[in-house]
């Protein structure tokens, strides 16, 4: 079974055009993979919602991004396939919140100047980037990375 194509015709908004092109490339890449039938059916239902949509412009862009995220989460959860830099982007935020803020509090309280709270954020960001990059590299080596970077 093959994934259906997005038949939405673009408009004059370049942001919408770029998002449609990116979505079509994602579908093209997923068509090259050997996906189970139930996953293909779920992806086809998401695309059919887009194809039957009557909205244009920014409303369509919002709907497209929502459906693209749903498809990405589905293939990540079910098949462990992720786009390029997926883990890096995820761990960037996690590093700042899980490592950076506590480190900033420790620095601020130990030095008696709570203004140093912000010094932990770049440290946490660096830790998150490192962990995420290593996980992306591991996904690439295991063949679990799609050849597309979603923006």
How does DSSP assign 25-92, residue by residue?
HHHHHHHHS---HHHHHHHHHHHHHHHT----HHHHHHHHHHHHHHHHHHHHHHH--B-TTHHHHHHH
Reported as a single tens digit per residue, the pLDDT across 37-58 is 999 999 999 999 999 988 888 8
Reported as a single tens digit per residue, the pLDDT across 72-117 is 999 999 999 999 999 999 999 999 999 999 999 999 999 999 888 8
Provide the pLDDT for residue 14: 87
Provide the pLDDT for residue 10: 62
């Amino acid at each position: 079974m093959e994934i259906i194509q997005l038949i939405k015709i673009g408009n004059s908004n370049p942001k919408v055009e770029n998002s449609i092109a990116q979505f079509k490339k994602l579908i093209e890449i997923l068509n090259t993979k050997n996906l189970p039938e139930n996953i293909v059916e779920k992806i086809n239902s998401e695309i059919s919602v887009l194809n039957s949509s009557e909205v244009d412009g920014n409303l369509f862009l919002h709907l497209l991004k929502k459906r693209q995220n749903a498809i990405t989460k589905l293939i990540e959860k079910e098949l462990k396939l992720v786009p390029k830099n997926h883990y890096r982007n995820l761990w960037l935020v996690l590093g700042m919140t899980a490592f950076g803020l506590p480190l900033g509090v420790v620095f601020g309280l130990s030095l008696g100047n709570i203004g140093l709270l912000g010094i932990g954020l770049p440290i946490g960001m660096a830790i998150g980037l490192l962990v995420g990059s290593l996980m992306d590299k591991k996904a690439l080596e295991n063949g679990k990375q799609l050849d597309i970077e979603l923006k």
